[in-house]
Amino acid sequence: MQQTSTTMRETVNQVWKKRPIIISGPCSAETEEQVLETATRLAKTGRVDMLRAGIWKPRTRPGSFEGIGTKGLPWMQQAKKITGLPVTVEVATAKQVEDALTFDVDVLWIGARTTVNPFSVQEVADALRGVDVPVLIKNPINPDLELWTGAVERVAKAGIKQIGLIHRGFSSYGNTEYRNAPMWHLAIEMKRRNPELLMINDPSHISGRRDILLDVAQKAIDLDMDGLIIESHIDPDKAWSDAKQQVTPERLGEMIGQIVWRKEDINSEEYHAALEKLRQQINHLDDELMQILGQRMKVAEKIGEYKKNNNITILQTNRWNEILERAFQKGEKLNLSKEFITKYFDAVHMESINHQNKIMNS
Ligand code: PEP
Ligand code: MN
């Protein structure tokens, strides 16, 4: 099995320590021309530290483009040669690890659909035994920090020393403004538990669309993430996968330039900087609470429709008592006072009733 050259290994080590790390490239490698042109134009922006491309694509439904396969690996090798930038690809099986390493891929990443499956993660980890290559691990598609932690442990136990995390958001059912809900608090908690690991944010797969990429990237940087991985394509609308969320290399460069990079404050302003960070966390959490409340009301409206069709009253006292009892019990464990829980649920309940009322009496 070939290993990457020493000088490229040193470059990778420098990139690993650089803040912020910017990784970009197409969702999928499609053709040699597309890979090389994307790479060249990304390198020209001077804002990118590493190139990415999916070679094997774990698609939700069969029949869509499932990746160009091993044939695309020499294109990545060539892209590296032309730009001098290290390359990273996603691996999900032992064979893919072997192929990627044969073609000198510098950094491997484990995708969200793989992190959820301990068998797959273990297979990848076993294939990595005795290999010196950095590995990035995406969060699992479901909001489960234990699964994410388990994947880190499996890879670490295989002897991999350089491990990083990628926060790409979590699947949620129903329409939200995101493709994958960021649930920032989970990334924050994962970072708190693993301060030694890199935490890179993936605005592309969180957003699922171009117009909010910058907003998500800025939030990630404000939350002190170590870098960004953002998809870029020479002709985004014609991309064979994830067309809606990709941007041209030039737009990528421009976006990175628009991000406000906040400095770590170590002087007298240390206190204010710390406070500011906490306040931003509060804002993000509040945003999420609002999103969730909006979703809750949508469910209430569905219930309203059901009740209307079956001619049932809006208020059912037993159900309301049950909700409150559950909330008191949970609240106690979370250190939330009974008084607060009562006020909060009264307000939420009233709002739900108003939403249902509109449905039932419209
Ligand atoms: C990707 O990075 O193109 C990808 C498949 O991402 P995820 O594993 O986050 O869905
Ligand atoms: Mn993608």
CATH, residue 35: 3.20.20.70
User: Which residue minimizes the CA distance to atom 6 of ligand 1?
Assistant: 111
Looking at all shown ligands, the one closest to residue 179's CA atom is 1
Whether residue 180 has pLDDT greater than 60? yes
Nearest ligand for residue 138 CA: 1
What's the whole-number average pLDDT of the chain? 93
Q: What does the alpha-carbon distance between residue 56 and residue 23 come to, in Å, rounded to a whole number?
A: 18
The mean pLDDT value for 71-86 works out to: 98
Cβ atoms of 233 and 38 closer than 8 Å: yes
Report residue 2's pLDDT band, with 50, 70 and 90 as the boundaries.
very low
AA letter at 237:
D
Atom of ligand 1 nearest to the CA of 242: 3
User: How high is the pLDDT of residue 103?
Assistant: 98
Q: Give residue 256's identity as a one-letter amino acid code.
A: I
- State in Å: Cα 155 to ligand 2 middle: 23
- The ligand 1 atom nearest the CA atom of 57: 5
CA of 28 from ligand 2 middle (Å) equals 7
Q: Is residue 264 part of a domain?
A: no
Query: CB of 88 within 8 A of CB of 111?
Result: no
Q: Has residue 240 got a pLDDT over 50?
A: yes
| Residues in Cβ contact with 319 at an 8 Å cutoff, skipping those fewer than 6 apart | none
Ligand 1 site residues (CB inside 6 A) read: 27, 54, 111-113, 138, 168, 205
Query: Which among 204, 235, 258 is the end of a domain?
Result: 258
Least confident piece of the model among 46-55, 182-191, 223-232, 351-360: 351-360
Question: What's the 141 CA to ligand 1 centre distance in angstroms?
Answer: 10
Pocket test for ligand 1, best of 135, 148, 168 (most atoms within 8 A of CB): 168
Cα of 200 from ligand 1 centre, angstroms: 13
- Supply 225's token pair: 């993430």
Which-ligand-closest: CA of 232? 2
Per-residue model confidence (pLDDT) at position 310: 87
pLDDT of residue 266: 59
How far is the centre of ligand 2, averaged over its atoms, from the C-alpha of 54 (Å)?
7
pLDDT bin (cut points 50, 70, 90) of residue 357 is confident
What pLDDT shows up at residue 267?
65
Do 54 and 101 lie in one domain? The reply is yes
* 243 and 301 fall within a common domain: no
| Residues ≥6 apart with Cβ < 8 Å to 188 | 223, 281
350 shares its domain with 286: yes
User: How high is the pLDDT of residue 116?
Assistant: 98
Range of the domain at 292: 269-360
**C-alpha distances out from residue 95 to 22, 176, 251, Å:** 28, 37, 35
> Is-contact 230 252, C-beta < 8 A?
yes
Average pLDDT over residues 95-108: 98
> Sign (positive/negative) of CA torsion 144, 148, 153, 158?
positive
Residue count of the chain: 362
Q: Are 266 and 324 in contact (CB under 8 A)?
A: no
Whether pLDDT at 316 is above 80: no
Which residue's CA is minimally distant from atom 9 of ligand 1?
A: 112
Q: Which of 165, 28, 145, 4 minimizes the C-alpha distance to 85?
A: 4
pLDDT at residue 330 is higher than 90? yes
Residues 161 and 293 in one domain: no
Quote the ligand 2 centre to 87 CA distance (angstroms): 16
Q: How many CB atoms lie within 10 A of CB 256?
A: 20
Least confident among 46-55, 66-75, 308-317 = 308-317
For residue 263, tell me if it sits in a domain: no
Residue found under tokens 């306040």: 279
CA distances from 60 to 115, 173, 239, 283 (A): 15, 14, 17, 33
Check if the beta carbon of residue 178 is closer than 8 Å to that of residue 294. no
Q: Are residues 244 and 335 in the same domain?
A: no
Whether 326 maps to a domain, the answer reads yes
Report the nearest atom of ligand 1 relative to the CA of 52: 2
Q: 237 C-alpha vs ligand 2 centroid, how far in Å?
A: 13
Domain co-membership, 194 together with 331: no
Considering 32-41, 257-266, 332-341, the range whose residues carry the highest mean pLDDT is 32-41
Q: Where residue 298 sits, what CATH number does that domain have?
A: 1.20.59.10
Listed in sequence order, the DSSP H helices in 46-183 are 73-83, 94-102, 112-115, 118-128, 145-157
Q: Of 200, 226, 258, which residue constitutes the final position of a domain?
A: 258
* Residue at a domain's end among 223, 238, 258: 258
Atom of ligand 1 nearest to the CA of 241: 3
Kindly state the average pLDDT of the residues 242-270: 87
Strand runs (DSSP E) across the chain, as ranges?
Answer: 21-25, 50-52, 87-90, 107-110, 135-138, 163-167, 198-201, 227-231
Cα 59 to averaged position of ligand 2 atoms, centre (Å): 9
Number of domains observed in the structure of the chain:
2
Shortest-distance Cα residue to atom 1 of ligand 1 = 27
